[in-house]
Amino acid sequence: MNETRTNRVLLVEDNPKNLKLVRDVLVHFGFDVVEATSGEEGVRLAAETSPDLILMDLQLPGIDGAEALRRIRADDTIARMPVVAVTAFAMDHDRERALQSGFTGYVDKPISVRDLPQQVRDFIRLGAAS
């Protein structure tokens, strides 16, 4: 039997254009998408909607992506969720910082519409195996 449950992705992104782009791509490829536009809302929806993966923008109003991640990792009920940083700068030290902060991985902005669905599948598989 194949796994038929729809994979749910929580997007935490304050930029409406970026949010729409990523949402449209993931919905097109059959993902169930939940959206948050601040870090606080992201942490709350992580607990309320049990996503298989969180895609977390780093620069957000209120708490930033790293602080939102810290709060998720500090909550036993959601601590093990895979959380992937969306890094605004294609620079090695920003990627390195994301990994050191405890993110599961990163995807670079601008998002690659072509690559994103497979990247998301891979991160979800990684999370399910851990």
Q: Which stretch binds Mn ion (CB under 5 A): 7-15, 27-35, 39-47, 78-86?
A: 7-15
For residues 16 and 36, give the distance between their C-alpha atoms in angstroms, rounded to a whole number. Answer: 11
Which of 87/119 has CB closer to Mn ion?
A: 87
- Each residue 9-38 as x (binds Mn ion by CB under 5 A) or -, in order, gives -----x------------------------
Of the pair 7, 85, the CB lying nearest Mn ion is at 85
The contact mask relative to Mn ion for 39-68 (x = CB under 5 A, - = no) is ------------------x-x---------
Q: Which residues bind Mn ion (CB under 5 A)?
A: 14, 57, 59
